[in-house]
Structure 1
């Protein structure tokens, strides 16, 4: 199966740059994400992690059986 992918790609000049670019994008993205996680303020992380748990009663819609389709 690899020959079906590798064969046509060998005829394209400069195709070897695309895997290098992909690897660089992958590496830069996860390095930046790691840096953001390490340098994030602990108060911000604590605040964001508790967002789903802080729902007020007014924010939750009161659905009855007649409201459902």
Structure 2
């Protein structure tokens, strides 16, 4: 069904290459960030959901 629609689009074969390139660059950038990020920051973010707020509004 979609084959008929895609046949009329010019240069459609370039979009999968662009999509793969964007994904690959994002993945490599994320890996670089993971290896370069400060471990103190990771530990702080890791424990953030477990920390109790300093001020509570208990009625």
What TM-score comes out, normalization by structure 1 length? 0.71
How many pairs were matched up?
59
Root mean square deviation of aligned Cα: 1.7
**What is the rounded CA distance, in whole Å, between the counterparts of 2:5 and 2:12 in structure 1?**
11
Post-superposition Cα deviations, 1:6-31, rounded to whole Å, max 9, x if no partner, equal 22212211111111111111111111
**What is the rounded CA distance, in whole Å, between the counterparts of 1:12 and 1:41 in structure 2?**
47
Over alpha carbons, which structure has the higher Rg? 1
Q: Corresponding residue for 2:33?
A: 36
Greater relative CO (CA pairs within 8 A, separation 6+): 2
Unaligned runs of 5+ in 2: none
Tell me, yes or no, if structure 1 residue 26 matches structure 2 residue 23: yes
- 1:46 offset after TM fit, Å? 0.6
Unaligned runs of 5+ in 1: 64-69
Structure 1: 4+ residue segments shifted above 3 A: none
What TM-score comes out, normalization by structure 2 length? 0.80
